[in-house]
Amino acid sequence: MKYDVVIIGGSAAGLIAGKTAKLSHPGKSVLIIRKEEISLVPCGIPYIFSTLNSIDDNKMGIDPLKKLGVEFLIEEVKKVDVEDKKILTEKNEIKYDKLVFATGSTPFVPSVEGIENEGVYIIPKDYDYLKKIMEPISKAANIVVIGAGFIGVEMSDELRQEGKNVTLVEAMNSVLPLAFDEDISEIVSTQLVSKGLKISTGSKVVRIVGKNGHVTSVELDNGDILKADAVILSIGYRPNTELAVQAGIFMGRYNAIWTDEYQRTSTTDVFAAGDCAEHKDFFTRKATKLMLASTATFDARVAGMNLFGIRLIKQNKGNISIFSSAIDGLAIGAAGITEKTARNEGFEIKIGKFTATDRHPGTIPDKSAQTVKLVFSKSEGVLLGAQVATGKSAGELINILGLAIQQGMTAVDLVTVQFGTHPLLTAAPTMYPAIVAAESVAREICCG
């Protein structure tokens, strides 16, 4: 078999790479090879345990791609030969003109005593595995979630809503430590604890105890012993790059595939997108461990459009790392770099922060407190980072602030932005948190 474009991997990056390739180059044949019959919406995985009716409600459909003419092969790739431009699967040999690695990532499993006990689970993007563990998790009364990143926090909140006794354990000093500064993380922790979740930060797991091969408790380095019928590991992911390494593709700092700004790898006619590809921070230009579905689809669109020549000029210089999440009664978002990261990287900064009600007047029933924290460069007031905690408007608000970061807006620019307000939709025009948070910094720049 011979195809113009072959994509290895069929989750978010693979599907969008296939769709973009076919739409951008309609005369080209496109094949997606993946070992899973069913793929899941990555960000929706935590919600299969409560919010969604079943795991089947979180499937990612492929019929629209098939209608475009994208073909699928459900087999595992065994080897990639970049010299002869061919791929060997379990049953087939496929030739390609252009190749895209979209092989994703795998949950990290630490070396902890007792990790092999039954009842210790990971959260992969694997339909069959997740379907199998749903029943034992549903029967567990006491659950320990290890790792307070977005997946860990969301999983904990979902399981708590199902009436479970959940303890969230994080080795660093706050929840969501890579996305938020501690003052904003505290808002999240307070909300979670008010709903009945137990949180242990600054604590490392030293041992998972089992009886007759099944987990019974978790021991922490602070001496606490947590009763556990189930343990869920959420300690980050590692890129799936074994095939690329074997093929001689150049790797980046964290064993992810190095790419240029057009997702081209070190090997001619080979591209990479998504979790398996290396990303660079927008401001520091350092390699990051960023793994987001939104970033994966961005990569995939760039790769898909530029397979047969540079059509899309990528003008931004790195990844802004835009995150958002929702906890029962609270939505949060972050973009750019945190205050802590900025200081650690040597930036001289100014902080703007403000809290107001996200409706006006404040007596409107569905109001929420809206806290906005902005990180600016000290000299010119360039927006480096933003964090928000509020109601459901957090998702779109952080996207707008992310665009402001990408466009190099300053505190003065934000203060002079023309924005629309409405009592049922936004904070008051007199107390709009994103504007007021920038105001004190803008005043210093303008007035000294």
- Tens digits of residue pLDDT in 179-191: 999 999 999 999 9
Q: What is the pLDDT of residue 290?
A: 86
| pLDDT at residue 447, as a whole number | 76
Kindly report, as residue ranges, where domains of CATH 3.30.390.30 are found in the chain.
329-447
Name the pLDDT band for 316 (thresholds 50, 70, 90). low
User: pLDDT digits over 123-139, tens only?
Assistant: 999 999 999 999 999 99
Which pLDDT belongs to residue 424? Answer: 92
Asked whether residue 332 carries a pLDDT value surpassing 80, the answer given is yes
Cα–Cα distance for residue pair 316/252, rounded to 1 Å: 20
Whether the CB-CB separation of 272 and 244 falls below 8 Å is answered with: yes
Task: State mean pLDDT over 242-247.
Answer: 98
Q: Is the pLDDT of residue 79 over 90?
A: yes
pLDDT of residue 317: 75
Burial class (CB in 10 A: 0-12, 13-18, 19+), 189: buried
**2-106+238-305: CATH topology:** FAD/NAD(P)-binding domain (3.50.50)
**pLDDT 10s digits, 90-109:** 999 999 999 999 999 999 99
pLDDT band at 339 (very low <50, low <70, confident <90, very high): very high
Q: Which CATH architecture has domain 329-447?
A: 2-Layer Sandwich (3.30)
The neighbour count for residue 249, using CB atoms within 10 Å, is: 22
**CATH 3.50.50.60 domain span(s) along the chain:** 2-106+238-305, 109-235
Banded pLDDT at 422 (limits 50, 70, 90): very high
Task: Give the number of other CB atoms < 10 A from CB of residue 211.
Answer: 9
**Residue 444 predicted with pLDDT over 90:** no
Q: Is the dihedral of CA 238, 244, 248, 252 positive or negative?
A: negative
What's the burial of 194, exposed, middle or buried (CB within 10 Å: 0-12/13-18/19+)?
exposed
The mean predicted confidence, pLDDT, of the chain is 95
Give me the mean pLDDT over the 60-69 stretch. Answer: 95
Q: What whole-number distance in Å separates Cα of residue 353 and Cα of residue 18?
A: 42
Residue type, 333: G
Mean pLDDT of 260-278: 96
Q: Which CATH architecture has domain 109-235?
A: 3-Layer(bba) Sandwich (3.50)
SS (H, E, C) 167-220: EEEECCCCCCCCCCCHHHHHHHHHHHHHCCCEEEECCCEEEEEEECCEEEEEEE
High-pLDDT (> 90) share of the chain, %: 90
56 contacts: CB under 8 Å, gap ≥ 6:
none
Q: Using CA atoms, how far apart are residues 262 and 304, in angstroms rounded to an integer?
A: 10
Q: Residue 244, SS3?
A: helix
Structure confidence by residue, pLDDT tens digits, 218-235: 999 999 999 999 999 999
pTM of this prediction exceeds 0.75: yes
Give the SS3 label for residue 393.
coil
